[in-house]
Amino acid sequence: MAHSETPDIVYTKVDEAPELASASLLPIIQRFAAAAGVSVGTKDISLAGRILATFPDFLKEDQRIPNDLAELGELVKTPEANVIKLPNISASVPQLVDAVEELQGQGFAIPDYPETPSTDAEKEIRARYDTLKGSAVNPVLREGNSDRRAATAVKKFAQNNPHRMGDWASDSKTRVASMSGNDFFSNEKSATLATEATAKIVLETASGETVLKDAVSYPAGTVVDATFMSGSALDTFLAAEIEKTKTEGVLFSLHMKATMMKVSDPIIFGHAVRAWLAPVFEKFGDRMADLGVNPNQGLGALLEKVEGDAEIMAAIAAITAERPPMYMVNSDKGITNLHVPSDVIIDASMPALIRNGGKGWGPSGEEADTVCVIPDNSYAPVYDEAVNFFKANGKLNPATAGTVQNLGLMAQKAQEYGSHPTTFEIAEAGTVKMVLTDGTVLHEHTVEAGDIWRSASARKAPIEDWVNLAIERQKATGFRSIFWLDANRAHDAELIAYVKPILEAKGVADKFEIMAPREATRASLETITKGENTIAITGNVLRDYLTDLFPILELATSAKMLSIVKLMQGGGLFETGAGGSAPKHVQQLQAENHLRWDSLGEFCALGESFKFLGESKGNARATILGDAVEEATQGILDNDRSPSRKVGEPDNRDSHYWFARYWAEALAAQTDDAALAAEMAPIAKDLADNEAAIVAEMAAAQGSSADTGGYYHADAAKLAAVMRPSATLNAIIG
């Protein structure tokens, strides 16, 4: 798209529940924005859209679509950027395969996903598909660091209407289990490059040298890490934990991030599946391989592959009977913690368990104490300390709790562990080296076959921007401010060497503390328990984890966070909360035509986006729109207009009607722009006068199944029919 055609605000087209909600909300946004002369357009970063954009050579001319993600990646490097970014699917292999099958069924002749590519053509197709896996979107768009916090209205509402918290028992058997060594944490090496450099990554073995990655370029000042997890140490640890869990009589669970860490964590997940079924793999491993079993894809895919083999199925049943009961994703459907790698994402699963008093759901549908296996020690201590804190002190009280805000280092792919094309499963014992072009060996590790080696980096400009952002926020709030950095960890020590001199040069070193994640977790929980506030200043992965952990404890959800990315070139990226894309909500809509997705995150981002536009473009009307969005959001909360979880009660579509009404009323009532007030007053009146008709039309739509024409790639007309069921509202909005 030519630069002149870029809309004032880009609203991303995404997946699952937020995309369903967009079909209802976006027409409202576009109508109101038009009153301020603001254009709101869309860019497609959905999984289906990205697949189609990746394979234009397989499609008919009229089926081809532009690569919107690449275009957005360029836009966010300009001062003009104003992007509202909704949650998209970070695809696991099973999701990717499902999306491909759906698109093929709709007449798009894209190639199958080659699970075991053998020909050059298959390898090339697989390489293209691999670019779509995991956290493929966020690193492209996040050309700035993250500022995530609970919006004032949302925090106030949570304190006035505290959500239910599970009770913690001091003798709870729930615990976090991690490796005692030989993990990513203990094997990490890190260095800051004095000059611009290019490195190749090689594996030297008895049989020769293999180039794992031929050239990775880094600007001067980049912090470059390398580490590995021992496959054999992981297997020993998993086997021991399964036995220990059985002895303790509690649930077994594994908590990973097989989406963002799209290379390393599915491998670790596969080790857990193999450990769980160890005797079956010992006896039938070759036969299972012939059937196409890949444990990395989870127990669900494994069972599908072997279900025709009675002997293997009997062996699985026998070993399952001997194992401890497992934490369940859906006990009614028999979906276990190990079924699908993308079903249990640590940043959502661990906070939910902690909020629930340390209880997980067992196979019988009953709650029970749970062993939470998080193999690597980089961030497991955060959860371990939280569990220990609540065992000792009891549950958090949301009515009186303060808040933990977060400033996260993430610009320019900072710390994209496991998402990078620099993560490898080692095929043969030897030495992995990162070698600079002048021959200097930057990092080296002695590795065994089956070890998982990875490297990541953080550039100088984003690090400095992050520290300055922290100084800015601390000054604005006066809150206790903690850098979550461990001086005994290689990577963090390099970051501390950046942080301290900047704080000292600005004369603010006394306003900040630096603590390892475990100590910072305890300090933050102590602070908010007293009703006080703190800012967690963290790296990228911890940003991801903490902006679910604390909001889920404080607000019951992370989907209602203000998530502002101050782009380094002056633009703005406004993310609509951290709550994922809610596949269960889609299933409920399909079955009952009820969407329980709460668009509060979208409302919060929208207000910030309009205000940013007003400030950056001198558009006073945009600022008025943004202020009115905040009033409307407050109205949604104060009048309890958020969606209900149950069919037959108000859902997402009803909440959008109320949002439009409160927004119109706020605009009609404001006195800064009489012409705008005059334009919006009739809309406000129509929305109020027709309340009964609109609410009745919304209610009539619920109860039966809904057809949107596709899960990953909906039919636009069918989707609009489902999500805009009120003819009266549609006539008013247009």
Task: Take residue 524 and report the two structure tokens written for it.
Answer: 């933050």
Q: Is the pLDDT of residue 224 over 60?
A: yes
The DSSP code sequence of 210-279 is: EEEEEEEEE-TT-EEEEEEE-HHHHHHHHHHHHHHHHHHT-EEEE-B-TTTSTTHHHHHHHHHHHHHTHH
For the chain, which residues make up each domain, given as ranges?
Answer: 3-143+569-733
CB environment 33-65: b (16+ within 10 A), e (fewer): bebbebebebbbbbbbbbbbbbbeeebeeebee
Q: Which pLDDT belongs to residue 419?
A: 57
Mean pLDDT score, 83-96: 91
Q: Which pLDDT belongs to residue 2?
A: 34
Q: Which pLDDT belongs to residue 4?
A: 42
Percent of the chain with pLDDT over 90: 90
C-alpha span between 130 and 136 (Å, rounded): 9
**Sequence letter at residue 364:** S
Q: Is the pLDDT of residue 717 over 60?
A: yes
Mean pLDDT score, 681-687: 98
Q: pLDDT tens across 580-637, in order?
A: 788 889 999 999 999 999 999 999 999 999 999 999 999 999 999 999 999 999 999 9
Q: pLDDT tens across 167-219, in order?
A: 999 999 999 999 999 999 999 999 999 999 999 999 999 999 999 999 999 99
pTM: 0.86
Q: Which pLDDT belongs to residue 3?
A: 38
The separation between the first and the last C-alpha atoms of the chain, rounded to the nearest angstrom, is 26
Q: Which pLDDT belongs to residue 579?
A: 63
Note the residue count of the chain: 734
Mean pLDDT score, 681-686: 98
Q: Which pLDDT belongs to residue 418?
A: 52
Mean pLDDT score, 326-355: 94
- pLDDT grade, residue 54 (50/70/90)? very high
C-alpha span between 365 and 330 (Å, rounded): 8
**Cβ atoms of 512 and 483 closer than 8 Å:** yes
**Cβ atoms of 405 and 146 closer than 8 Å:** no
C-alpha span between 697 and 590 (Å, rounded): 18
Q: Which pLDDT belongs to residue 625?
A: 98
β pairing state of 208-218 and 430-436: unpaired
Phi-psi region of 134 (alpha: psi -120 to 50; beta: other; left: phi over 0): left
The SS3 assignment for 59 reads coil
C-alpha span between 226 and 445 (Å, rounded): 9
Q: Which pLDDT belongs to residue 251?
A: 98
Q: pLDDT tens across 126-179, in order?
A: 999 999 987 789 889 989 999 999 988 889 989 999 999 999 999 999 999 999
Query: Nearest 5 degrees, angle CA 660-CA 666-CA 670?
Result: 150
Mean pLDDT score, 533-558: 94
Q: Where are the beta strands (DSSP E) in 328-487?
A: 328-330, 335-336, 359-361, 367-373, 404-408, 423-425, 430-436, 441-447, 452-458, 480-484
- For the chain, how are helix, strand and coil distributed in percent, rounded to 5? 50, 20, 35
Containing 513, the helix (H) or strand (E) segment is: strand 512-515
- pLDDT grade, residue 578 (50/70/90)? low
Q: Which pLDDT belongs to residue 37?
A: 94
Q: Which pLDDT belongs to residue 167?
A: 97
Mean pLDDT score, 413-422: 74
Token match 């009820």: residue? 594
**Cβ atoms of 183 and 229 closer than 8 Å:** yes
The DSSP code sequence of 569-589 is: TS-EEEE--S----HHHHHHH
Q: pLDDT tens across 250-281, in order?
A: 999 999 998 778 889 999 999 999 999 999 99
Containing 19, the helix (H) or strand (E) segment is: helix 16-34
Contact residues for 468 (Cβ-Cβ < 8 A; gap 6+): 502
Task: Take residue 46 and report the two structure tokens written for it.
Answer: 């959905």
Contact residues for 117 (Cβ-Cβ < 8 A; gap 6+): 123, 125, 126
Mean pLDDT score, 109-120: 95
**Sequence letter at residue 370:** T
Q: pLDDT tens across 437-461, in order?
A: 999 999 999 999 999 999 999 999 9
**Sequence letter at residue 579:** G
- pLDDT grade, residue 92 (50/70/90)? confident
Mean pLDDT score, 329-342: 93
